[in-house]
Every structure is written in C-alpha cells, then in structure tokens.
C-alpha cells in the first residue's frame, strides 16, 4: 500500500498553559502598551528583554514588533543611509532585502554554497563594496563565523546577524547573534518562539542599542527598560533620532517569556526530528544532504536537501508527486515567487547581478518545515515518501 502523510506542515504546538495564563493576566489588567505600567511594575516587555539578554549573554536587548522591523532598525542604528550598499546572502527570505530596501539602501548579494551558507570567498571579494554585512543564517544553517568575522574585521565591515532561524543555535558555544554588532530575531509563528509576530534585538554596543530603542518609539521613557544602557547614553542621541514606532507590547511579551524558558528543550526536540529525517534519506541516489559543520549547534526546525542539476520539469514532477502524498515541499527553483520561496532574482527592486553558482543551487533546492507537532515516526513516513518519489521522478 502506498504511504500518504496526513500531518500539517504549518500546525505549531499549542501555546503553553503558563503563557496563556500570563497573557490573560495582561488582558485582565489592560496594560498592553509597554510603557503603561502600574507603580512598581516592570512590565512583561521589559522583563522579556532582561531574560533574553541573559539567555544570549548580551548586555542589552530590545523587543520590537517583528523580525523585519528589527532588521531595518538595526540598519538605521548603525548609520546606513539611502543609497548605501549593504552586503547580504543571495539565499535568504524577502524580509532581509526588504529591510535594506525599506530605508532606501541597496542590497548587494553574495553567492551561496552547497551548505546553504554565504560563500566566504565571494564575501571576501566583495567586502570592500559596503560598510555593512546583513548576514542571514537562512534556514538555520550557520557558516564559519570565525572566518566571517576575520573578513569583516579586515575590511571594516559592521556585521548584523539575521537570526530568525537560529534562535537557540550556537557556533563553537557562542549563541547565534553574538558575533556581530547586533543580532536580530523573529517571534513570528513559524519561528522558535511564537507570538504571531514579534522580534528581538541584542547588542553589547551601548550607542547602537540606544539608537534602536529611540527609533522603536521610547517616548523618552528609556529608563523603564531593564536591559538597556545607562540614561546618559541617550542624552545626545535623543535629539537626532526619529521615532519610527515598532515596540513590542506586553501581551506578546507575556506569551513569549514562558516559551523562552522551554526553548532549550524545544531545540533538542527539533534536532532529533532533523537527525531522524537526515538518517533516513542518507544514501538516497540523487539526493544531496546539507553538510552541517561540527562547530555548529543548529536548530533543525526545517529540513532542506538538493536534487542538483535536475531539469525543471523533473523537479516540478517530484514536487507534485510528493504533494499528492501529503508532503508539502517548497522549491526555490520556480520561475515565479510562491509563498516563502522567493529568491534574489525575483526581487527586481534590488536590480541584482546574476549569481551562477547560487542559481544552480536554488534550482535544485527543496525545503520543508518540521513542526514539533510531528513525531519521529512521522519523519520516517516523510522520508519513505521522499525516497520513493525521488526514484520515480529522477531523470534518466
């Protein structure tokens, strides 16, 4: 009998009971705005910032309305101006070049490797073309961060890390987001903490995070933050920094704080599912698995593999056959952007230069989510369907 998978690739785990209780408490007292607090009350957002700073080992943290807002705010906070070039990965999602374009800057794309990470040779060659690198740890794949920082330091590049897919991940024991000037995270539903939308920013640089706090719309109430620089850092900055409101509210922060406490356990659960699927697909003829360096502790909340050099018609046939059996694959080689699979040459506002090495990889790249609503047995079923359909669709 032919297997069919009946799981839902977009169904996340329920919000934990303790998070629901915390959110109800906020709704019952009605003080949702982060600066609307009672006497002696810190507020959920300020407490979340304090706890996330502690979790990552950062000095400072700011909670904001979305991961995309965090990226654009980080760019503004380090002084990117309209017309400035900003280096970034060619393999990323639309909010990354979107953040660059939103402030009138110009994305300059860097090639990607078969490990789905930024091509460090191409980065070194292009490092003199910009003063900022917005480094996307796309789909949780972490490049050699030691080498990235060597290139950046030699070229005078400021590094902003997009950690939307690496909250809880590490490189040589250092949390993702702690190598660059700023680390930016998302708490959108499909990320590692779920508040529907939301974002977090961390930094050890007092002036940079002070600018970000002012940009987020502090209304000069920055002294109510628990994970921010001293008040004197803000004195000169507050007269020259516009309010571009994008604060997180206390309701979303209340949902996130209990989830943050559970994150290390969740990371282990995601990685177990990733490892199971990887083991079941290992050795499948035609399938190239993604090499992950030993120095990285990833978070396997999604899974990617390559069918390198397959013609488009075979890729389309494979994706359709898997879909008919309940396995929802995203293909990055389609001619038009579909859902979450847009790629660098679809972003015409960026006027990208051709990247032939990246084109080859994206043409063969397939992606699927691994929500924690899936069991290890579910991973076995998915792998069995993928193996069978690869064999049926593989070109002669």
The helix (run of H) or strand (run of E) holding residue 75 is helix 67-77
Q: What's the pLDDT at 1?
A: 46
**Could you tell me how far CA 104 lies from the centroid of its own chain?**
22
Percentage above 90 pLDDT, the chain: 96
Give me the CATH number covering residue 327: 3.90.1150.10
Collapsing DSSP to helix, strand or coil, 51 comes out as helix
Asked which of 214, 241, 257 is the last residue of a domain, the reply is: 257
The helix (run of H) or strand (run of E) holding residue 87 is strand 85-89
- 51 plus 131 within the same structural domain: yes
- 145 plus 246 within the same structural domain: yes
d(CA 200, CA 127): 27
DSSP state of 352: P
Which residue has tokens 């250092």?
Answer: 174
Beta bridge partners of 368: 303
- 253 plus 270 within the same structural domain: no
Residue 2 — very low, low, confident or very high, per pLDDT cuts 50/70/90? confident
143 located within any domain: yes
Asked which of 257, 291, 307 is the last residue of a domain, the reply is: 257
Dump pLDDT digits (tens) for 37-46: 999 999 999 9
Dump pLDDT digits (tens) for 217-259: 999 999 999 999 999 999 989 999 999 999 999 999 999 999 9
- 115 plus 196 within the same structural domain: yes
6 located within any domain: no
Per-residue pLDDT at 291 exceeds 60 = yes
312 located within any domain: yes
Closest CA to 56 of 227, 249, 235: 227
Residue 396 — very low, low, confident or very high, per pLDDT cuts 50/70/90? confident
Cα distances (angstroms) measured from residue 34 to each of 254, 308, 339, 393:
11, 49, 33, 53
Per-residue pLDDT at 171 exceeds 70 = yes
d(CA 7, CA 374): 7
Asked which of 257, 292, 322 is the last residue of a domain, the reply is: 257
- 224 plus 315 within the same structural domain: no
- 341 plus 382 within the same structural domain: yes
Give me the sheet containing 174-175, strands edge to edge.
Answer: 174-175, 170-171, 296-297
**Could you tell me how far CA 367 lies from the centroid of its own chain?**
15
Cα distances (angstroms) measured from residue 353 to each of 90, 108, 212, 346, 358:
10, 8, 31, 12, 11
- 220 plus 304 within the same structural domain: no
Q: Which domain, by its residues, includes 371?
A: 263-393
Domain count, the chain: 2
209 located within any domain: yes
- 285 plus 367 within the same structural domain: yes
Q: Are 34 and 40 in contact (CB under 8 A)?
A: no
Strand ranges inside 169-291, DSSP E: 170-171, 174-175, 182-186, 199-203, 288-289
């Amino acid at each position: 009998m032919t297997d069919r998978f009946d799981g839902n690739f977009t169904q996340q785990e329920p919000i934990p009971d303790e998070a629901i209780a915390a959110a109800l408490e906020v709704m019952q007292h009605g003080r949702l705005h982060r600066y609307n607090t009672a006497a002696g009350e810190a507020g959920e957002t300020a407490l979340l910032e304090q706890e996330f700073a502690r979790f990552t080992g950062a000095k400072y943290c700011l909670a904001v309305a979305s991961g995309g807002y965090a990226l654009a705010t980080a760019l503004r906070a380090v002084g990117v101006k309209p017309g400035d070039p900003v280096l970034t990965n060619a393999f990323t999602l639309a909010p990354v070049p979107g953040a660059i374009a939103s402030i009138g800057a110009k994305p300059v794309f860097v090639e990607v490797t078969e490990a789905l990470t930024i091509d460090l040779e191409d980065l070194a060659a292009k490092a003199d073309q910009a003063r900022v690198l917005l480094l996307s740890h796309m789909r949780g794949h972490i490049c050699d961060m030691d080498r990235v920082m060597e290139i950046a330091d030699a070229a005078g590049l400021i590094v902003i890390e997009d950690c939307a897919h690496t909250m809880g991940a590490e490189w040589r024991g250092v949390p993702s987001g702690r190598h660059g000037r700023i680390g930016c995270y998302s708490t959108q539903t499909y990320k590692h903490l779920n508040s529907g939308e939301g974002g977090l920013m961390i930094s050890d640089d007092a002036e940079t995070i002070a600018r970000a706090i002012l940009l987020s719309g502090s209304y000069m109430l920055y002294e109510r933050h628990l994970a921010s620089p001293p008040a004197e850092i803000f004195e000169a900055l507050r007269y020259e920094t516009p309010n571009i409101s994008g604060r997180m509210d206390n309701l979303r922060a209340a949902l996130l704080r209990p989830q943050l406490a559970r994150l290390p356990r969740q990371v282990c659960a995601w990685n177990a599912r990733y490892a199971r699927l990887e083991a079941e697909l290992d050795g499948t003829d035609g399938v190239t698995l993604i090499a992950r360096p030993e120095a990285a502790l990833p978070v396997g909340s999604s899974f990617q593999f390559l069918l390198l050099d397959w013609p488009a018609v075979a890729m389309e046939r494979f994706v359709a056959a898997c879909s008919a059996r309940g396995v929802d694959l995203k293909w990055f080689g389609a001619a038009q952007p579909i859902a979450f699979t847009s790629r660098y040459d679809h972003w015409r506002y960026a006027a990208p230069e051709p990247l032939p090495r990246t084109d080859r990889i994206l043409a063969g790249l397939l992606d699927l989510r691994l929500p924690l609503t899936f069991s290890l047995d579910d991973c076995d079923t998915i792998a069995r369907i993928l193996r069978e359909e690869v064999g049926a669709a593989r070109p002669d």
